[in-house]
Structure 1
Amino acid sequence: MKTIVQTLSLILLTAHLSAVQAQVPVMNSYPAANAVILLDFDGIDLSGTVWNYAGPFTCNPSGLTNDQIVETFNRVAEDYRPFNINITTEEAKFTAAPIDQRMRVIITTSYEWYGSGAGGVAYVNSFKWGDGTPCFVFSSLFGFNAKNIAEAASHEAGHTLGLRHQSSYDGSCNKTSDYNWGQGSGEIGWAPIMGAGYYQNLTLWHNGPNSFGCTNYQSDLDIISGSYNGFGFRTDDNANSFAGASAAVFDGSNNFTINGVIEQTSDIDYFQFTLPVFGNFTLDAIPYNVGTGNSGSDLDMNVQLYDQYHNLLGAYNPGNELSSIIDTILQAGTYFISVDGEGNMYAPDYGSLGSYSLQAAFIDGSLLPVRKLELHGHSENNIHSLQWELNADEPVAKQVIEFSQDGKRFETLAETPVTDRAYAYFYNYAKPVQYRIAVTLENGKHYYSNVITFRPGIISKPQLLGNIIHQDLSINSPGIYQYFIMDNNGRMVSKGRIEKGYSTIPAQQLVAGIYLIRFAADRQQWTEKFIKH
């Protein structure tokens, strides 16, 4: 039995001023694939399909502008990016595809033959029928809105690949809606593609209850990539291990750009890069998008930075954004970056898949006119006292104290006179805070100090002000303690005593690696780990 499925429409009574159908640009998302989904924007005379029970009829063009066509295509292409299938506007690609490996999605203003009760319509599993049966999206019923038309196109194509609706149920297993409308708001607001994603930015494939019952879970990814459809996932473009990490090579301007795809839920892409000297390393990790606020993205990026020993130096995944930023000082050496898709407070990890770009830059520290920029500090009664040393060959034009509550995104706390070398701040929040100094020289160059960390509350034990060091260890202590530093093999390499308040322990003699420092007083002992670069 052939099952027909209708898609919810948003009947928007808006004026549409475009009188002439735009010339449809030729676009292909993955030309190497045999399987094809054609987005047909320019109209067609349809006959000989199961839709033609009343005879042949004409589907008018979509009524979209060129820009709207491109946006619609890019949104749908990103939804299907993980799979070994080509989203195309090219009729020749569709014709050349195997007859049981292709689907035509007709995006048209002509809905009267079917009625205005649905924004789109498709037969379940029709992708494999091989008889030319298309599916439809009625563009005028969506007010010619490219976002909503794209949601409907991905949704209808999903039906032809065997998917039912992702539905909503209450705690007693009563269906509350045939469509799961998702949850949340803003950049990370989420909904299933096979639900209703018109009002959410992050619309993904989902593993949830479908319209047949609250215990009937539908794994969209498994069905789309399954043997029945016959095309599967794309081949993994980057290795899932440190050993196979792809090399990222800086160009002559000390930049590199990498493009990749997270194809499956378990996929993690690894990259390796080498810095010849110490300096400032920045990286913008951006999921594919069609506009502001990562509009149209399918990937919530989790980016992690590791040293040459595969020790984690930082994890970068802002809770309310899909993109990530690294901005840190690194010593000479080899480093690794991993990229994977994560869930967030609204979206599950399952469907966080898609393409991304890594855009990195490096400022060579050996060429810096700043010879020394080192931040110290201590805390007492929630007063954070900062002191720093600055030695530069060029005049300083601007000096800013920056803070961060997640260690990844820094904001301006205060701009101080360029001759100041100390600052005090009352901090009364129940979470750790990091500080750094940002200096701008008169030549326009920007430089950053090391980062120090303060933890909230009364200090009951010695605390390292940063676990990644380049020269000395900085410590805030509530009293006098003996300290003992051990290397990764448990061999003691240094010992001594710290006083109450702020102290430094010389560490220039330590080779790069992982160390443990043990603090002892009376019968109390505490141990922390740090990394020397």
Structure 2
Amino acid sequence: MLVDTGMIDTPRTVRLQSPSILTALAFTLLLAAPALGAKYPAYVDGSFTFGDEFAEAPYGLESTFSLSSNPNATKTIYLDFTGFHSVGNSWGHNIVFPAYDLDGDSGSFSDEELIEIQQIFQNVAEDYIPFNVNVTTADPGATALRKLGDGDTHWGMRVVMTQATAGFGVGIGGDSGSSRFDDAADNPVFTFNKGARKGGLTASHEVGHTFGLAHDSYYDQEYHPGTGGYGRTSWGPLMGAPFDASITQWSNGDYAGSSNTFDDYSFITSKGFGFREDDYLNSLADPHLLESIDGEISEWGIIEERYDRDYFRFTTTTGEVSFDVNGFAQDPNIDVGVVIYDSLGEVVVELDPSVTPNINYDLFLTAGDYTFFVDGVDNPGRYSDYGSLGFYDIQIGLPIAGDLNSDGFVDTDDWLLLVAGAETDLSGLSAEEAFLAGDLNGDGLNDIYDFGLFKDAFTSAHGAAEFAALLAPEPAGLGLATAMVLMLAGYVRCGVRTN
């Protein structure tokens, strides 16, 4: 049973400068209450989609009762929002529970209700995404929820998302009774709490009891209320009542104040299913190759087990790389950590900010191949990496060749930086400083080779005529451009460098 302790969302925005670690330039953190839309993998009538993360109902209102997280799984968690006649089961009552209702009209679903149902689906799907089980809003039928003997391979649990009715459920957030995930009868659990976070957490919590899980306490409190206030790394265990926490996870009780050291995973995976198959290899030597489209890389994955690491490789030109790895935007389970290696296997940078579960950095990288892994990490003093599993989304923005000032364009401003750098001594500068002074190929010089690279980049963006105009400017700028060309020409004789 789960009590209703209320919930408060406090949005706030924080901007921080990154620690001075190797090549990290800066990262920006937006600490705010989640938007209504959230990117999350799902299946609508069997077809995969992320939905529209900018829409209030990311999968479309019409698809609300056609959502599944893992439709090929043989075990099911059915979120039943449509009403249920509970009779002839272990509860010993005969009650017709109405459909999920926010506006006093349980006879039809409003847009607000359909939107909230999709959000609840996403939250419960995130809690169970490491496992080979399907969370769904589509009615699979009672037979698919019952274990009908040793030969049966399909069973699961109905979660009745409803209101207190006929005196049952008054004053509580949910109840699991004696229901078990592998029962021979359709013995449901009940969720009475409302809201994306409270309703979703309660549903996951009550299903957790059907695996045999007990409450996660906090010192003398039966239900862990969550720690860390309302920040992005506030935390609580799913078998507690951390309604205000931004990160909720399965737990093994390895936190201060715990009296329950159950290994949640061993209980969950004892009812006929295990963890999902690993989506990416745990190998620095054999990473998944990422391809860019118009300078953008997009990928996603799941950290399925505690010691899972997903390895990826990408190629970049020299410049500023925007590097984002985000968990589920609404209520994540994973706290993301990333380590990036160069082509020699040496660590370039470790990214694990303590004030956000996400990775949002701008990095200066020289041209080459880079490998990185995504991992679920801890937050020392608050939570371990035990429960840091779940969905993550990778977005990498590669630099544009010739964009010396990293403003996203190759233009006259970059030409002026190239010209200015051609007249300076680049020795002793860092790779980043030398790049800003026109060293496009990372050889420590601003010479004719960099001039050629810039010419190619500028011409590709604007055409040969525009580049010619740079070399034949108005009289006021003639001296600078001419000096640039003559100076660069002095670096090369018969195609061989003279320095």
Query: Is the counterpart of residue 471 in structure 1 residue 444 in structure 2?
Result: yes
Deviations 1:331-386 (A, max 9, x none): 33221011001111422211011001101121243xx164xx89xxxxxxxxxxxx
Structure 2 gaps, min length 5: 8-60, 103-112, 149-154, 424-429, 446-499
Q: CA deviation at 1:300?
A: 0.7
> Matched residue of 2:216: which SS?
coil
Q: CA deviation at 1:99?
A: 2.8
Counterpart for residue 122 of structure 1: 176
Deviations 1:60-98 (A, max 9, x none): 011141111011110111011100000001113764466
> Matched residue of 1:168: which SS?
coil
- Hey, what's the Cα distance between the residues in 1 that align with 2:166 and 2:413? 72
Contact 2:163-2:169 within 8 A present in 1 as well:
no
| AA of the residue aligned to 1:27 | L
> Matched residue of 1:127: which SS?
coil
Contact 1:166-1:179 within 8 A present in 2 as well:
yes
Q: CA deviation at 1:49?
A: 0.5
Contact 1:279-1:329 within 8 A present in 2 as well:
yes
- Hey, what's the Cα distance between the residues in 2 that align with 1:10 and 1:355? 27
Query: Is the counterpart of residue 149 in structure 1 residue 182 in structure 2?
Result: no
Counterpart for residue 17 of structure 2: none
Query: Is the counterpart of residue 257 in structure 1 residue 302 in structure 2?
Result: no
Contact 1:189-1:200 within 8 A present in 2 as well:
yes
Deviations 1:382-431 (A, max 9, x none): xxxxxxxxxx97137999xxxxxxxxxxxxxxxxxx99x9xxxxxxxxxx
> Matched residue of 1:284: which SS?
strand
Counterpart for residue 282 of structure 2: 240
Q: Which runs of 4+ in 1 moved over 6 A?
A: 396-399, 434-438
- Hey, what's the Cα distance between the residues in 1 that align with 2:202 and 2:188? 14
Query: Is the counterpart of residue 197 in structure 1 residue 242 in structure 2?
Result: yes
Counterpart for residue 441 of structure 1: none
Contact 2:169-2:175 within 8 A present in 1 as well:
no
Distance 1:217 1:249, change over 3 A: same
Distance 1:354 1:112, change over 3 A: same
Alignment of 1:363-512 (within 5 A): 363-365=399-401, 368=402, 370=404, 394-395=412-413, 471=444
Distance 1:99 1:82, change over 3 A: same
Counterpart for residue 319 of structure 2: 279
Which has the larger helix fraction? Answer: 2
Distance 1:83 1:470, change over 3 A: farther
Contact 2:76-2:136 within 8 A present in 1 as well:
yes
> Matched residue of 2:198: which SS?
helix
- Residue 68 of structure 2, aligned match among 28, 32, 35: 28
Contact 2:340-2:372 within 8 A present in 1 as well:
yes
| AA of the residue aligned to 2:271 | N
Counterpart for residue 218 of structure 2: 168
Q: CA deviation at 1:278?
A: 2.9
- Hey, what's the Cα distance between the residues in 1 that align with 2:437 and 2:360? 18
Distance 1:39 1:329, change over 3 A: same
Q: CA deviation at 1:177?
A: 1.1
Distance 1:97 1:111, change over 3 A: closer
Query: Is the counterpart of residue 224 in structure 1 residue 268 in structure 2?
Result: yes
- Hey, what's the Cα distance between the residues in 2 that align with 1:449 and 1:126? 67
- Residue 164 of structure 2, aligned match among 101, 110, 116: 110
Contact 2:278-2:304 within 8 A present in 1 as well:
yes
- Hey, what's the Cα distance between the residues in 2 that align with 1:133 and 1:97? 9
Counterpart for residue 361 of structure 1: 397
Which has the larger strand fraction? Answer: 1
| AA of the residue aligned to 1:156 | E
> Matched residue of 2:161: which SS?
strand
Distance 1:124 1:97, change over 3 A: closer
Query: Is the counterpart of residue 86 in structure 1 residue 59 in structure 2?
Result: no
Counterpart for residue 8 of structure 1: 3
- Hey, what's the Cα distance between the residues in 2 that align with 1:299 and 1:231? 21
Contact 1:316-1:324 within 8 A present in 2 as well:
yes
| AA of the residue aligned to 2:4 | S
Counterpart for residue 366 of structure 2: 331
Q: CA deviation at 1:319?
A: 1.1
> Matched residue of 2:67: which SS?
coil
- Hey, what's the Cα distance between the residues in 1 that align with 2:185 and 2:373? 44
Counterpart for residue 233 of structure 2: 188
Deviations 1:182-233 (A, max 9, x none): 21021100000001111111111011189xx9665111122112xx311010
- Hey, what's the Cα distance between the residues in 2 that align with 1:230 and 1:132? 17
Contact 1:188-1:347 within 8 A present in 2 as well:
no
Deviations 1:311-346 (A, max 9, x none): 110111211011112422333322101100111142
The more displaced of 236-245 and 82-91 is: 236-245
> Matched residue of 1:349: which SS?
coil
Query: Is the counterpart of residue 61 in structure 1 residue 99 in structure 2?
Result: yes
Q: CA deviation at 1:298?
A: 0.9
- Residue 43 of structure 1, aligned match among 58, 73, 83: 83
- Hey, what's the Cα distance between the residues in 2 that align with 1:92 and 1:436? 57
The more displaced of 105-114 and 312-321 is: 105-114
Contact 2:216-2:260 within 8 A present in 1 as well:
no
- Percent of aligned pairs with the same amino acid: 32
| AA of the residue aligned to 2:182 | K
Q: Work out which structure has the larger RCO, using CA pairs closer than 8 Å and 6 or more positions apart in sequence.
A: 2
Contact 2:145-2:157 within 8 A present in 1 as well:
no
> Matched residue of 1:158: which SS?
helix
Distance 1:11 1:200, change over 3 A: closer
- Hey, what's the Cα distance between the residues in 2 that align with 1:126 and 1:25? 24
Contact 1:37-1:94 within 8 A present in 2 as well:
no
Contact 1:316-1:325 within 8 A present in 2 as well:
no
Query: Is the counterpart of residue 159 in structure 1 residue 209 in structure 2?
Result: yes
Structure 1 gaps, min length 5: 1-5, 13-21, 170-175, 291-295, 375-391, 400-417, 422-433, 439-446, 451-468, 473-533
Distance 1:182 1:398, change over 3 A: farther
Alignment of 1:285-300 (within 5 A): 285-290=325-330, 296-300=331-335
Q: CA deviation at 1:26?
A: 1.3
Contact 1:270-1:339 within 8 A present in 2 as well:
yes
- Hey, what's the Cα distance between the residues in 2 that align with 1:347 and 1:11? 23
TM-score (norm 1): 0.61
Distance 1:76 1:330, change over 3 A: same
- Hey, what's the Cα distance between the residues in 2 that align with 1:94 and 1:234? 25
- Hey, what's the Cα distance between the residues in 2 that align with 1:394 and 1:110? 67
Count of residue correspondences: 358
- Hey, what's the Cα distance between the residues in 1 that align with 2:318 and 2:5? 56
| AA of the residue aligned to 1:166 | D
Distance 1:326 1:130, change over 3 A: same
- Hey, what's the Cα distance between the residues in 1 that align with 2:400 and 2:87? 66
